[in-house]
Homo-oligomer: A and B are copies of this chain.
Amino acid sequence: MDIRQVAKQARVSTATVSRVINASAPVSEKTTERVRRAIIKLDFYPNSHARTLGSGKSRIYGLIISDITNPFFPELVKSFENIAVQHGQEVIVANTDYNVDRMELCIRRMIERKVDCVAIMTTEMEPSLADMLNQRRIPVVSLDTGTVGKTSSNIEVDYKGGIEKAVEHLVGLGHTRISFISSYLNNLKSTQMRSDAFLDVMRRNGLSIASSLVHTERESAEGGRSAMDQLLQMKSPPTAVIGVNDVTAIGMLEAIRHAGLRVPEDFSIIGYDDIAISAFMNPPLTTVHIHREELAKCAFNALYSVSQCGGSGRTYKIDTALIVRESTAAPRQNDELTPRQ
C-alpha cells in the first residue's frame, strides 16, 4: 500500500496526493476530497521513512536523559513530548544510564535516525560529543554543560540558588550542624554543582563543614539510606541533612524511621527536585523545586527557534524554589537520640 495506489484510486498523480497529505501546495477542493476518500478507503498510512528520505527532514526531535527510572525524568519527557506534538514533531528518547559511553551510543542513534534537533537533559557529557552534532548542524540544547554557539544553546538551572534557600531555611530554624548527602556520580555536573554550592553557602554562613559531605555509592533511595545510616553512627550527628535529590532524601527518611527516630523532631531533611511523590511522604518532604514543565518548554523552544526560525543559540535560565513542607523544624535540643519505644 503506497502513495501510488492512492493516486490511482483518486485518479491523480502521486505529487497531488503528497500535496494534500502535506498541505504543501494548493489543491482544488474537489481533488482534495477525492484524495481524502481514497486515503480512507485504502486505509493508507504514509511511510515515514520514505518521507524522511524524500524530504531530508525527519520531524523528529531527540531527547537524551539519564534514566527513565529516576522520577525526575518521566515528567520531563512527558512535557517535552506534549510540546513537540503540538508543533507537529515526534520525539525519540534515549537513556544514558549515567554513562558516558552510552551517551556516545545515544548520539549515534540520534544521528542515524536523522533527528532534526536534540535535547541533552543529562549532565554526563563529553563536550566532544556535542561536536558530533554541531558538525552535522543539528541544533542542540544542553543542561548546565555545553557551550553556546550558532546552533547550540544551554540551559542553566539555578542549583546554587536552591541550595542557598535550603541552607538558609535551616539556619533560620536554628540549625548549625548540617550535612549534605551527595552521590558517587560526581562526574555529573548537576550533582557537582549542588555539592559545591552547599560547601560555599555553608562557608558563607560561617558554618563548619567537617564531615558534612557524605557520598553514597549510588544515586538512589538505597544510596540515601546507607549514607544516612553512616551519619547515624556519628558521636554527634548533624541536626539537618540535605539530599542531592528527592530520591536520596526518601532513602534518608527510611533510614531514620528504621532507627526508630523521627523527622522533623530528630532530624530535619530537605530534598531536591520536588518529584511528585515527595508531597506524599510521611512527613511530606521539604524540597527544592525545579520546574520540569518549564524546563521542557525552554529546551524545546531553544531548539525550535534555531531549527525553524533560524535563530541562534543562546543561554536560558531556570529558577528553583524552596518548597517548605513538614520534614523541617527547629533542631532537637539535646543529642540524646532516643529511639521511640
Contact = CB atoms under 8 A, between A and B. Distances in A.
A111 interface: yes
A250 B277 CA distance: 9
Contacts of A95: 78, 81
A156 interface: no
Given A69-B75, A74-B69, A114 B48 contact: yes
A49 B52 contact: yes
Contact of A49 (B43, B58, B250, B284): B58
Interface in A34-91: 43, 45-50, 52-53, 58, 67-69, 71, 73-75, 77-78, 81, 90
A92 B30 CA distance: 37
Nearest to A69: B74
Nearest to A135: B43
A8 interface: no
Interface in A178-235: 221, 225
Contact of A48 (B50, B77, B113, B221): B113
Contacts of A69: 74-75, 78, 276
Interface in A250-296: 250-251, 253-254, 257, 276-277, 279-284
Contacts of A49: 48-50, 52-53, 58, 113-114
Contacts of A276: 69, 221
A132 to B, nearest CB: 8
A90 B53 CA distance: 19
A93 interface: yes
Contacts of A48: 49, 112-114
B93 A280 contact: no
Q: Max chain B CB contacts within 10 Å: which of A78, A281, A283?
A: A281
B47 A250 contact: no
Nearest to A284: B254
A103 to B, nearest CB: 15
B281 A282 contact: yes
Contacts of A112: 45-48
Contacts of A73: 74
B71 A78 contact: no
A109 interface: yes
Contact of A280 (B109, B253, B284): B253
With most chain B CB atoms within 10 A of its CB, the pick from A49, A50, A251, A284 is: A49
Interface of A: 43, 45-50, 52-53, 58, 67-69, 71, 73-75, 77-78, 81, 90, 92-93, 95, 108-109, 111-114, 132, 135, 221, 225, 250-251, 253-254, 257, 276-277, 279-284
